[in-house]
Amino acid sequence: MFATNNQISGRQTARLLLFDMLGYSALLIPAELARTAGRSGVFSIIFGVLAGFIYLRLLKKLICRMDGSYSECLRKCFGSIGGNLVKAGYSIYFLLLAGRVAAILGELVVSELLEKQFRVIIFLIMVLVYYGVSGGIEGRARIYEILFWILLIPLFVMMLFALPGVDTDYWLPVMLENTFTILQGSYRVFLCISVLFLVPFVSEYVKEKEQVYDSAKRALMWTGGILAALYLILLGLFGKNALGTLDYPVVTMMSRIQITGGFLKRTDTFMFGIWFFTLYALLNSMVFFAEKLWSHGKGRRNVWLLGEILVVYLLANTFYYSEGFKMLCEKFFYYVGTPFIVIVPVLLCFLLSGCASTELENREFPTILTVAAESDFTREWLDGLQEGTKKVDYNHLKVILVERGFLENEESMAEMLGVLKDDKNVPLNAYVVTTEKLKELKEGEKELEKPLGDYLEELLEHADTMKKETYPTIGLLYQEAENRMETIYIPTIDMVEKKPEITSYEVYKRGAAVGQVSSDVALLSFFVGNQMKEYVLQLDVNNYVRLSNARNEIVIHEVRENSGLLKKQVKVEIECDGKILRHVYDVEQENVEEWLEAQIKDYMNKKAAKALESGIDITNSFKKLGKEREWYLYYTQSPNFYEQDIEIIFDIDIDWID
């Protein structure tokens, strides 16, 4: 089947999860919050949804560390017996929630459509559930994708028609309730949206597991927004006390809406479809994953599924006819069920981060990826298949060290970026550095107190004068390969006194390496781009200054020269603090600062002009061309002429500090 081939899209996943959360929470949350948090219920929704995002972040980590299905992951981490016990706990939760949802769905059908036919209605619903689950997750995903706007647009229209009846006086005063009741309401919100625990289960049916987190995040944002809007509308329609007495206030709201023209008086009946399909979606999910949680042979699958359907049928009837059983199960969800589905992923994250010894023996966790000039960078090469049977896990990668010969080969770099872009395990924040002496660096690693990857990461991140985002990452190179707008300086690493140091920089201009520059040029460019905390400038052997708190602005415009010709000028306006670190010169003391400012300006202008001769713009002004429409249209078509046509001028205002 399509679903077993992991081909559900991220959009379908988002809509599945939205339907699973929305109907159940929209029906139950408003009345619950009115009874607990009252007029402050909207804050409970906000806090509950925020808790959902935190929970979702934890699930994201779990998905990244999972190797195989969630069921297999439980068995690996908790052992055979422990894994089966945890799966049994999930099964109980699945079936009880399915029974509760089926009872609510049957109750709505009885109250809105058919009277006194609950058992028959539940039987027919179970037949539909059997049909839906048997068809797999793919069929349901496609149906919900079609129904998404068909259901949500009428809901938004009904909410819009309800607005004239909202009395905002019912909203005030807020925050009369104590903190405990607001947090209690938040927990009830979280209890309903904790259906997010399905994310690890769903991940095995999505082609790219990384899409699951983004899909769930979108679903949660939609759910939170709709819940907050609904609660404010319902509170304004009914008031706190009346809202708390209603079983399903959002359904009652529909009966109060008056639509001009008289063509549709019973909007509650018309809107019943929203709650039917969203509750049916959640009911299907519970039964589907309860059935998939255990491994069965094909011959036994239908028997197991029929058994689950029968259990849910019995539970639904018990929920409907026994108030005591319903209250008991509500306490189960509140005190046992929800903590259980939260704690299990937390434990799995710790267990998977530690990894079993057998897994560690079969995995490598490099902190550095070295790419030699002659490397043939392919998917197989990246997986390390040439080194044996161990699986290479790049989640802990910190630095990519590329030999200069490879970096300056545009075709090879394009191939490397393409391969890395498709590998979701390679962190986007891994730094990129280059070297001409890859062999020496590898040999010199033996003299270091730590792995080369860790050493280089600290070298880049612990530079006191630099901001953390100064140095290029693989993510920056990805985007620049497409945008081709920036000038990037890639640190060149060499061995200095048996330790790796940055000795110069490779210029990576608009998607291609164009040569090396000295550290002086790169540091000036970093300073101009506001990427440095402070800039220590050596004007000559006798004069050192430190510039800090820079507030630099780049202005691009045309100026007319005395000859009448127009000159394209990039002006760098610098405002910063300055401190004299050393000065030895025969100048009157009161003129020293003015003299130094002129020397700094002259130094920068000369460095900028020299770099332009080599086709390097230290101001990185090419990406600012959007401010000058004519420049943008011309130079994006003829980028190679840009550095030839411009001149760079510095204007400096230094506030000297004693």
| Domain residue ranges of the chain, discontinuous segments joined by + | 9-353, 362-528, 533-658
Render 298-348 in DSSP notation, one character per residue.
HHHHHHHHHHHHHHHHHHHHHHHH-HHHHHHHHHHIIIIIHHHHHHHHHHH
With cut-offs at 50, 70 and 90, classify the pLDDT of residue 314. Answer: very high
Q: Which helix (H) or strand (E) holds 263?
A: none
Provide the pLDDT for residue 572: 94
CA atoms of 474 and 427, how far apart (whole Å): 8
Average pLDDT estimate for 82-89: 88
Alpha-carbon dihedral of residues 58, 60, 64, 70, nearest 10 degrees? 80
E-only strand ranges, 328-424: 363-364, 368-371, 391-392, 399-403
Give the model confidence (pLDDT) of 273-303 as tens digits.
Answer: 787 888 888 888 888 888 887 755 454 567 7
Please identify which residue in the block is written with the tokens 């009830």. Answer: 188
Q: What percentage of the chain carries pLDDT values higher than 70? A: 88
CA atoms of 622 and 632, how far apart (whole Å): 9
With cut-offs at 50, 70 and 90, classify the pLDDT of residue 348. Answer: confident
Of 448, 528, 539, 455, nearest to 493 (Cα)? 455
Give the model confidence (pLDDT) of 383-418 as tens digits.
Answer: 664 445 566 777 778 899 999 999 999 888 988 888
Check if the beta carbon of residue 202 is closer than 8 Å to that of residue 293. no
Please identify which residue in the block is written with the tokens 């002259």. Answer: 602
Average pLDDT estimate for 470-489: 86
Average pLDDT estimate for 586-609: 84
Give the Å distances, CA to CA, from 534 to 331, 420, 463: 59, 34, 11
Check if the beta carbon of residue 370 is closer than 8 Å to that of residue 399. no
Check if the beta carbon of residue 558 is closer than 8 Å to that of residue 569. yes
Q: Is 366 exposed, middle or buried (CB count within 10 Å of its CB: 0-12, 13-18, 19+)? A: middle
Average pLDDT, the chain: 83
Q: Which helix (H) or strand (E) holds 171?
A: none
Q: Which fold has domain 533-658?
A: GMP Synthetase; Chain A, domain 3 (3.30.300)
Of 196, 200, 201, nearest to 216 (Cα)? 196
Please identify which residue in the block is written with the tokens 């009880």. Answer: 96
Provide the pLDDT for residue 606: 94
Q: Tell whether the model's pLDDT for residue 212 goes beyond 80.
A: yes
Of 251, 197, 206, 202, nearest to 86 (Cα)? 197
Q: Which CATH number fits domain 9-353: 1.10.1740.10, 3.40.50.1950, 2.60.40.1120, 1.20.1740.10?
A: 1.20.1740.10
Check if the beta carbon of residue 416 is closer than 8 Å to that of residue 389. no
Average pLDDT estimate for 307-332: 90
CA atoms of 621 and 509, how far apart (whole Å): 12
With cut-offs at 50, 70 and 90, classify the pLDDT of residue 586. Answer: low
CA atoms of 131 and 124, how far apart (whole Å): 11
Provide the pLDDT for residue 362: 57
Q: Is 527 exposed, middle or buried (CB count within 10 Å of its CB: 0-12, 13-18, 19+)? A: buried
CA atoms of 530 and 515, how far apart (whole Å): 23
Give the model confidence (pLDDT) of 243-260 as tens digits.
Answer: 888 888 888 777 666 554
Of 318, 293, 313, 309, nearest to 132 (Cα)? 309
Looking at per-residue pLDDT, the higher value among 422 and 238 belongs to 238
Task: Report how far Cα 465 is from the mean position of its chain's Cα atoms.
Answer: 30
Give the Å distances, CA to CA, from 303 to 1, 93, 260: 20, 20, 52
CA atoms of 550 and 654, how far apart (whole Å): 9
Q: What percentage of the chain carries pLDDT values higher than 90? A: 24
